[in-house]
Structures are given as C-alpha cells and as structure tokens.
C-alpha cells in the first residue's frame, strides 16, 4: 500500500515501512485466486504495479497492505472472496471501485501498494497575494470566497485566529474550519501536528486578523479570506501518509460536496510516479472528484533540481499532479516585490512531461517561495528557517497578540477580542505566522483563485475554471534564469518552456475579467517526440477545448513563446530537445523513471530547500 508524505518532502525518494515493503513483494505474485471481478477494470492491463516487480520471490506467509481494484464497485461478496483468501478489509474505496486490504503475500490478484507521499513545501517579505492580483478581487469585485468550501487534504488544520470569521462591531466570532475528519491510523486527532496543513489553509483563506491594524506594515491574508475550510487530515505529525487515506479523504469530500458547498480540493502532497495515470488509484480518485464537479488543485513537486538521471529536473512531476484532469501548479519566486515582472521560477519546482504518459505539466505557476501564512501551535515544522519576526511586519516597538509568551512555539489558538490581547516586543518570533517554500505553497494560491471564480459564477464547471485560469495566466517570462545554491555552489539554470511554466503565471484579475467559457474538456494535452524531425509536438486529442482556432487556440492558452514560429512544435533549450544518444533525453521520452533510490543526493538538498526556500 503506497505511503504519502506532504508535498514538502516530495523530492525525496519514498521510504517504505515494513508493511509497505511487504506490499511491494506481494503484488508481484500475480496468482489470480480472486474472482474475475477482482482484476483491474481493463483485463488487458498489467495487473501488478511496476514498482512491485522487484519483489517477486519469497516472503511466503507475510501479509501486506494493498489497494485492490474491481470491474465494479465491490460488494460484500467481493470483500468475502478476499476474506476467504486470508485478506482483511481495512477501508472501502468505492470512489475508485476498490478497497484497502491487508492480504497474505501468496493470495494477491491485483496490485497497488500504498506508496509514500510527501508534502512539497520549501517562504523576506511575502508579496504572494499582490503578485497574483488578489487584491483586485477583494476591492473591485467584492469577492472573498464567502460561502465556498475548500477541502484541504493535508496534515490537518488547526483553527488559528486567522481562520475565524470576526465581526468587530459586536465582537462576535467563529471558526471557518467548518468540518474536520481524521484519516491517519491510530488517532482521532484532526489538528495539525506538523504545520503544513494550517499554513496551506491560511494561503487559501487566512483573514489576516493578526497582521491587520495601525501597528502593522503588511497584512498576510489568504487569496479567498472568507472561504470555509473542510479539514481532512491524512498526514501524520511527520508529514507522512498513505494512498488509501488520501483516496478515502477524496471520497469523503465528494460525499460532503453539497453539505459544505465544496468546489475545490487542495492536494499539496504527492509521491513518485510508478505507473500510467490511467491505472494509478490516486489519479482515479482525483478524476472521480473532478467528474463530481470539484476542481482538484495539485502540487507539481519539488524535484526540479533532480539531475540523478541526467534530465536536468525534467520528467519529475509527482502523483497525482501527473493526472491530466487536475490543475498542477509549479512554484515562482516573487523577488520580494509586489510586481510579477521580476519574478523567476524556483529551481526546485518540478518539470514535465509526466513519466509514462508525457502529459504537459505543470498547467500553471504561482508564488510558492518563502510564503508567509498561518502557523499551527507546536508544529514540528517550526524551526529557525521558518520563523517570521514581528519586526518584519510591524512598524512600532510593541504590538499585540494573544500569545502567552514570546517563543516560536507559543501560538494563537483562536480569535479573541483586542481587549484581551497582551503586548509583546517586536523583536520576538511571530506567534501567528511562519514561512514555508515549495509547490505546496503555490498550490493553495491557485485553489484560492478557483474559489473566487466559483463565488463570482457558481455555475462554472471544473473544466471552465481550469481553462480560464490557464488562458488568462501571464505569458511574460525571461528566456532563462539561473540561481546558485549558497551551500553547494551549484548553479541551476531554468528555461521557460512549456514543461517549466505551463500556460503561465496566475493572474486573478485577468481571470475574473474574462468571459470565456470552455465548452469541452480541459484535460492537459500530451507531448510527442518525433525522432524523424527531432522535434516535440503538442497533441491535444479529441473532444477537448484546446485547438487551432480562437478562443482556445494553443497559442493563446500557452502563449507563442513556447512554440517554434507559430507551429505546433515545442520550443526548448534543455535536455528535452537533445538527441536520443543523450541518457537524460532517453529517460524523459522513454520508459525510464527519473527519480533514483534513497542514495540520491537530491534527498538532503530537497529538505533544505523546503525549509529555507531559495534566494
């Protein structure tokens, strides 16, 4: 059974527990002891996930956790057949016509291990909101996310003060975390013990109460500062979780859609790609949510510096960001200014095309480096690199907070009236905010934008939201940018091709001003390399909105700079456009997988980037 960690750790190769290792062993023994209905939906498809193939021998008597998929939604009879072979039902996953079981190694018919997933965050004064023109939505359109629900599937969300609604005139307040449920085994706690989920929720819907007032020089609001949060905790205090937990949470979000008007799911997490999105159970869950009318926004991953296979970071999009339905988000750096003209891509931001399927990803980029947002009490992510000081956003020698002390772990738990706030000096660590970096942080920026579009027009479909955000994204980028890691001295050069920045840089004002409505699917296109011409082409497929004519011509959606002279040929100056003799080229366009084993040097580099960000 696959395990997850927050996208914050996505750039690390997955580390499997004993149970997970056993699952990989089991899945390779394709003895079809279950009924035919227990095979994958398409009987011609490979029944064992390829990452399990190395464990084909031995291990009799062991039990493992797996996800078994059926031709139809499994009934009690299906579960009984698994039980008859020694299996134990752990979680029903009807959304993917499957279930999570613990089974003996010698009894497997289908195969999907519960692989590790991680969060992808790696956040100087933060101008995230200004850069994407969120203030235009608040001031000109009067939009703040009111009435729209966002399911944050993450490490939990602690209802800190900025996630409360508050009416100053009568001092009434209440939490906008309107529903919470835990999916982490062994606990019922829905609070955020890690710190990632609360930070993500603040980027989406933080109200900025604890940085608003005459004493403050900067207010840290979310993109949709009055949206409601549905807290579905799937990651533990270390930011780790499993496929089955995430799928169960997505299934719950679908079931609660009408109750809480859930229009957006935020997935700032991911893991390595092991198979085509067409058979990956997590991707299937994402598509089920999309087809239920919920926009799913996913982090691209933080593997952009990974050159272990000679790909210069290409081909490193994580699951489920590899699914063509999802809106997959890469991370930009704001350069400490509110204008986007000087912004550059974060070198750690994962790049496409996706492994196995060559889907063009990411779809869009947004600010994700050194983002300041809400802080969960006593979270394990709290450390010196994540600290925000009161002097960074306060103009006076003292300011007020409801913290009981000045340390980094004395955090606010709820919104109180100003009369109860105590005074602390501004040279202390902020009790309300922390900074994180990564595509995990860029993802909720786009989720917030989707919320504003739904508030403006509740009749929009997920495809219309995705197409609108992509088409109206800014296409103004430099040809390339470079950054030198201050620790290693290594210089990373990024080219602004379609696999790095997708359709462009999020622009909320432009999206709200547009009236374009996609009348077909907005699934992300694929790229195909033609060895006879040594060129890569964009292939949009049938029944999709992208085409050669207005208003959804590919040159309008992705811009002209990523194509060669107005043709469908993709432009680039990287290994993706090398020769078949190049090892990295062969990995990107072949059947290889970019990410290496646990000895990959990207592991330690990734954690450093996630915590400290990139200058």
Q: Which burial class, exposed, middle or buried, applies to 535 when counting CB atoms under 10 A from its CB (0-12, 13-18, 19+)?
A: middle
Query: Contact, 268 vs 299, CB < 8 A?
Result: yes
Other CB atoms within 10 A of residue 300 CB: 36
Mind telling me the catalytic residues? 154, 196, 440
Alpha helices per DSSP H over 256-406: 257-260, 281-291
- Within 1-62, strands assigned E span 3-6
- Report which of 604, 456, 354, 558 is spatially closest to residue 136, judged by C-alpha positions: 456
Query: Contact, 234 vs 245, CB < 8 A?
Result: yes
d(CA 366, CA 438): 10
End-to-end, the C-alpha distance of the chain in Å comes to 37
Alpha helices per DSSP H over 60-170: 76-84, 128-131, 134-139
d(CA 1, CA 81): 19
* Neighbouring residues of 531: CB distance < 8 A, sequence distance ≥ 6: 580
Return left, alpha or beta for 239; rule: phi > 0 is left, psi -120 to 50 is alpha, else beta: left
Query: Contact, 415 vs 173, CB < 8 A?
Result: yes
Query: Contact, 173 vs 24, CB < 8 A?
Result: no
Other CB atoms within 10 A of residue 520 CB: 15
Query: Contact, 219 vs 206, CB < 8 A?
Result: no
Show the tokens assigned to 251.
């299934």
> Strand, coil or helix: what is 230?
strand
Residue 297 CA from chain centroid, whole number: 6
> Strand, coil or helix: what is 437?
coil
- Report which of 119, 120, 320, 157 is spatially closest to residue 233, judged by C-alpha positions: 157
d(CA 130, CA 336): 11
Query: Contact, 82 vs 61, CB < 8 A?
Result: no
SS (H, E, C) 339-353: CHHHCEECCCCCCCC
Query: Contact, 503 vs 473, CB < 8 A?
Result: yes
Query: Contact, 494 vs 481, CB < 8 A?
Result: yes
Show the tokens assigned to 539.
């292939």
H or E stretch at 468: helix 462-472
C-alpha R_g of the chain: 23
d(CA 66, CA 505): 39
Torsion over CA: 569, 573, 574, 579 (sign): positive
């Amino acid at each position: 059974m696959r395990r997850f960690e927050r996208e914050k750790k996505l750039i690390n190769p997955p580390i499997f527990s004993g149970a997970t290792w056993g699952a990989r062993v089991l899945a390779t023994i394709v003895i079809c002891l279950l009924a035919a209905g227990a095979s994958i939906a398409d009987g011609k498809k490979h029944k064992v996930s390829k990452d399990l193939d190395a464990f084909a021998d031995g291990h009799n008597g062991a039990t493992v956790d797996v996800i078994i998929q059926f031709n139809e939604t499994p009934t009690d009879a299906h579960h009984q057949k698994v039980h008859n072979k020694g299996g134990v039902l752990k979680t029903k996953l009807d959304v993917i016509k499957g279930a999570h079981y613990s089974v003996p190694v010698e009894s497997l018919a289908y195969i999907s291990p519960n692989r590790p997933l991680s969060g992808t965050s790696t956040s100087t004064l933060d101008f995230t909101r200004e850069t994407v023109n969120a203030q235009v939505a608040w001031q000109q359109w009067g939009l703040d996310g009111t009435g729209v629900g966002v399911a944050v599937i993450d490490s939990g969300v602690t209802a800190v003060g900025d996630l409360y609604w508050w009416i100053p005139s009568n001092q009434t307040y209440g939490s906008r975390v309107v529903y919470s449920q835990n999916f982490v085994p062994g606990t019922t706690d829905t609070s955020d013990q890690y710190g990632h989920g609360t930070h993500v929720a603040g980027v989406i819907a933080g109200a900025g109460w604890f940085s608003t007032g005459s004493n403050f020089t900067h207010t840290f609001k979310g993109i949709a500062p009055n949206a409601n949060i549905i807290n579905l905790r799937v990651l533990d205090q270390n930011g780790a979780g499993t496929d089955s937990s995430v799928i169960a949470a997505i299934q719950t979000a679908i079931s609660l859609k009408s109750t809480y008007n859930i229009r957006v799911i935020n997935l700032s997490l991911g893991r390595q790609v092991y198979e085509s999105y067409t058979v990956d159970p997590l991707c299937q869950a994402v598509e089920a949510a999309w087809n239920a009318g919920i926009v799913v926004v996913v982090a691209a991953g933080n593997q952009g510096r990974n050159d272990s296979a000679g790909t210069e970071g290409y081909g490193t999009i994580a699951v489920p960001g590899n699914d063509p339905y999802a809106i997959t988000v890469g991370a930009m750096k704001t350069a400490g200014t509110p204008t986007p003209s000087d912004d550059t891509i974060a070198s750690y931001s994962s790049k496409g095309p996706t492994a196995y399927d060559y889907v063009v990803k990411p779809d869009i980029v947004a600010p994700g480096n050194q983002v300041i947002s809400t802080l969960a009490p006593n979270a394990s992510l709290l450390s010196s690199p994540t600290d925000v000081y009161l002097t960074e956003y306060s103009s006076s020698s003292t300011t007020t907070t409801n913290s009981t002390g000045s340390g980094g772990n004395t955090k606010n738990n709820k919104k109180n009236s100003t009369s109860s706030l105590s005074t602390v000096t501004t040279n202390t660590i902020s009790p309300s905010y922390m900074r994180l970096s990564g595509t995990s942080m860029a993802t909720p920026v786009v989720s917030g934008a989707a919320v504003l579009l739904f508030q403006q027009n509740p009749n929009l479909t997920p495809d219309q939201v995705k197409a609108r955000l992509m088409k109206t994204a800014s296409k103004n980028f430099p040809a390339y940018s470079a950054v030198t890691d201050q620790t290693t001295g290594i210089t990373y050069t990024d080219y602004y091709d379609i696999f790095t920045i997708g359709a462009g840089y999020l622009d909320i004002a432009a999206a709200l001003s547009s009236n374009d409505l996609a009348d077909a699917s907005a699934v992300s296109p694929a790229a195909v390399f033609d060895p006879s011409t040594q060129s890569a082409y964009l292939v949009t497929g049938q029944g999709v909105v992208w085409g050669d004519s207005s208003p959804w011509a590919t040159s309008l959606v992705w811009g002209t700079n990523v194509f060669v002279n107005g043709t469908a040929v993709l432009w680039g100056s990287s290994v993706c456009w090398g020769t078949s003799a190049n090892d990295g080229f062969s990995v990107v366009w072949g059947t290889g997988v970019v990410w290496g084993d646990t000895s990959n040097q990207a592991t330690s580099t990734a954690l450093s980037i996630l915590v400290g960000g990139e200058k």
